[in-house]
Amino acid sequence: MSVVESEVVFTWAGFRRGARQSVPLIAGMLPFGIVTGITGLSQGLSLAEITLMSAVVYAGASQLVALAVWTHPPDLIAVTFAAFVVNLRLALMGPVLAPWFHKFKGWRVWLSLFVMVDHNWALSVREINAGYRDAAYLLGGGTVLFVAWVAATALGAVLGAQLHLPPGHPLFFAALGAFVAVLAQMWRGMGDLLPWAVAAVVAVMVAQILPGTFWYIVAGAIAGSIVGGVRDHRRRLVS
């Protein structure tokens, strides 16, 4: 029976399976969460505020970007939009899970998508391709990772209060370092050089023109996307 034809279910067994298989991923998440907690503390957030931010936002990359543009008092529109831009990739990731969630509505879908991050999404895609049909797998893995993330950022805030790291400490390079690591995995060859270079140049220019704002993220993303789209369109015409 094909993956598409088999019946999709949402069971406690699937939840437990997803939770169990996501536990090893916590080891890689903990350092990232601790750094995020320390960064939040350095921006003036309290332990309670950092913990609440992690629970509500639940996205390490967007949290670090939001903290990078944090001001006193915070510009909530700027912070929210910066996080939104970084999380736009989730809009492309979600539809990949349609073979599991096309038949469900309500809390099963929304709660599962709330706890969806790159880690349990990748595991879920693997399970879908293998023919596994219990959609609760995503929720189980996401719940384990959610608890681990909130706990790690809270731990980071506690450690940050003891370390008293000065501004400019190498640890605060974490946000940029995280994105460099993500980009390294996305590199597909020299064909990506032009859109990436355009995005980088535009982002640097906008950062110089509008210092202290988040618009360089948006400008770089849009410029790179346009160049990449034009490149792909020309390739399709040639082929």
User: 5 or 143: which carries more pLDDT confidence?
Assistant: 143
CA distance 68 to 205: 18
Amino acid of residue 53: M
Q: Where do the domains of the chain lie? A: 12-171, 187-239
Q: How do residues 216-234 score in pLDDT, each as one tens digit?
A: 877 887 898 899 888 888 8
SS3 content of the chain, % helix, strand, coil (to 5): 75, 0, 20
CA distance 149 to 63: 12
With cut-offs at 50, 70 and 90, classify the pLDDT of residue 74. Answer: confident
